[in-house]
Amino acid sequence: MKQLPVTQPDQLLSTIGNGKVVLFFTAGWCPDCRFIKPAMPEIEADFSDYTFYSVDRDENVDLAASLNIFGIPSFIVYDQGQEIGRFVNKDRKTKQQVEDFLRNLK
């Protein structure tokens, strides 16, 4: 998984490019983020047509706020620079829930 550097909202699309992209908003202190993090390599392997970026919410506060990310872990998916889905709330997420979310985008 790539790590998104500190990115301002107006820089996001030029940073992530035009392919299929999943932004995984997380933070080191977040227990629900630590819960899903071990499953992320498997999720990435199952959805290899996407590029996954880990986004440290605390380093990217402006970006998170501009995208209405107020709970973590959260996921936003882009295809060709257009948002095509989001799984955004403050609840703990399982591998199955994340994969179901991504599968339903196709």
The catalytic residues are 30, 33
Q: What are phi and psi of 56, to 5 degrees?
A: -70, 110
* Whether 20 contacts 51, CB under 8 Å: yes
- Burial of residue 53 (CB within 10 Å: 0-12, 13-18, 19+) is buried
Lookup: tokens for 55: 């986004």
